[in-house]
Amino acid sequence: MKRNARIISTAMYAPERVVTNQYFNEMLGKDVNTWLVENLTIRERRWCAEDESTADLAYQAGKKAIEKADLKPEDLDLIIIATDTPEYISPSTASVVQDRLGAAGAGTFDVNTACAGFVTIVDMAAKYIRSDEQYNNVLVIGAYAMSKYLNKNDKKTVTLFADGAGAAILQNTNENRGFLGSLLHTEGQYHDWMGIYGGGTKLPVSDETIRNNDHLLKFVKKFPSEINPTTWTNMISELVNNQGLSPKDINMVFLTQININSIRETMDNLNLSMEQTHTIMDRYGYTGSACIPMALSEAVDQGKVRDNDLVVFMGSGGGLAFAAAAFRW
C-alpha cells in the first residue's frame, strides 16, 4: 500500500469569557438577539481575555490533540497553523506554538487563506505525509482571535465574530483509509469586499489608518447570498465525483459556519440531512479558520464520526478562497 495520511486525533479550545447576545443588546441599545438567533442560531460566543492571543488558543488546542493522540511533542515533524489573526505579522504564529509545546523537532509555517485556512492546511499536511517519508506526524491548527480586530460600534461584525482554535493530527498510514482528495478555488475579484486592510504594506499602521479604522475588520460590500451554497455544492459534488463517488455516499460534511441558511441550503442541494453535519455557531459564534476543526472535534467526541465514514470538509473565507477535502475515516 502507498503512504497515506489519516486524522488520528482532534481537539478544540475556546476562551473562558462567554459573551451573550444580551451583552450586545445593552451595548448597542437595540435588540440584536432576535435576529442573531432566528437567522444565525447564535446565542453566545467566546472572546479572548485582554492578555490572551491567537498563540494561546492554538497552544491549548494543539496540546489537547497531542495528548489525545497518545503522542509526545517531540514526535511531531511539522506544525502548520491557519490564521488571519496572527500573533505577529512576523514571525509565524506556528513558531511561537512550537516553542510553547516543546516540539523542537517540528518544522513550522503559517497559512492565510482566511476562513478556508484549516481545510487548506489539512490538504497540505496530507500531501507532505504522502510524498515525503520525513513527515509522519503533522499537527494542523485553525486559530482565530478576531475579537482583537472588531469595531465595537459596528453591529454587522461585532455580534458575529468570535475566538477559538481547533486542531488535528495527521499521521502516515498504509491502511486503506485517510485522505482521498481535495479542491482549491478562489474568486479573487472579491478580495477587497471584506478584510483587515490596515497594517500591511498597502496601508501601513499610521494615525490615518487608525482614524479610518483600517486596522479593524470591515465589511466593505455585501456578498451575493448565493455564492457560498452554490460554490460549496459544486465543489463537494466535483470532489466526491473525482473519487468515483457521489454526494449520497457522504456520511458527514463540515462546513464554514458563518451562515446557518447557507449550510441548510447546501445540505438540501446535496440531498443530505442536517443530521449529516455538525454546527457549533449557536454556542461559539463565528470562529473563522477554527470553526471546522472545532465542529469536527465536538462531533468526533460525540461519536458522530465513525470508522469508514466518508467525511468532507468545505471551507470558505475572504479573498474569496474556497477549499474542500475528503477523507475515508
Query: How many domains is the chain partitioned into structurally?
Result: 1
Kindly report the CATH number assigned to the domain that includes residue 94.
Answer: 3.40.47.10
- What the block records as the C-alpha cell of 265 is 441550503
Task: Please name which of 308, 6, 46 lies closest in space to residue 161, comparing C-alpha atoms.
Answer: 46
* Interval 207-248: pLDDT, tens: 898 888 889 898 888 888 899 999 999 999 999 999 999 999
The secondary element (H helix, E strand) that includes residue 63 is: helix 54-68
**pLDDT at residue number 310:** 98
Distances (CA, A) of 153 to 30, 57, 81, 123, 220: 12, 25, 30, 37, 15
- Report the chain's mean pLDDT, rounded to a whole number: 95
Helix (H, G, I), strand (E, B) or coil at 172: strand
Which residues 6+ apart lie within 8 Å of 120 measured at CB?
Answer: 82, 111, 113, 184, 315, 321, 323
Task: Please name which of 4, 11, 9 lies closest in space to residue 328, comparing C-alpha atoms.
Answer: 4
Phi, psi at 89, each rounded to 5°:
-65, -40
**pLDDT at residue number 253:** 98
> Which residues span the domain enclosing 291?
1-329
**pLDDT at residue number 1:** 60
Compare 207 and 311 and report the one with higher pLDDT: 311
What is the length of the chain?
A: 329
User: Do residues 164 and 13 lie in contact, with contact meaning Cβ atoms separated by under 8 Å?
Assistant: yes
Share of the chain above pLDDT 70, in %: 100
- What the block records as the C-alpha cell of 144 is 482565530
Q: Helices 117-131 and 291-301, interaxial angle, to 10°?
A: 70
| Angle, CA 191 vertex, CA 278 and CA 232 arms, to 5° | 30
Which residue's C-alpha cell is 449550510?
A: 263
Share of the chain above pLDDT 90, in %: 88
**pLDDT at residue number 275:** 97
Rounded CA separation 62/169 (Å):
9
Rounded CA separation 214/208 (Å):
9
Which residues 6+ apart lie within 8 Å of 155 measured at CB?
Answer: 24, 28, 30, 32
Rounded CA separation 125/327 (Å):
13
* Interval 76-103: pLDDT, tens: 999 999 999 999 999 999 999 999 999 9
* Interval 251-260: pLDDT, tens: 999 999 988 9
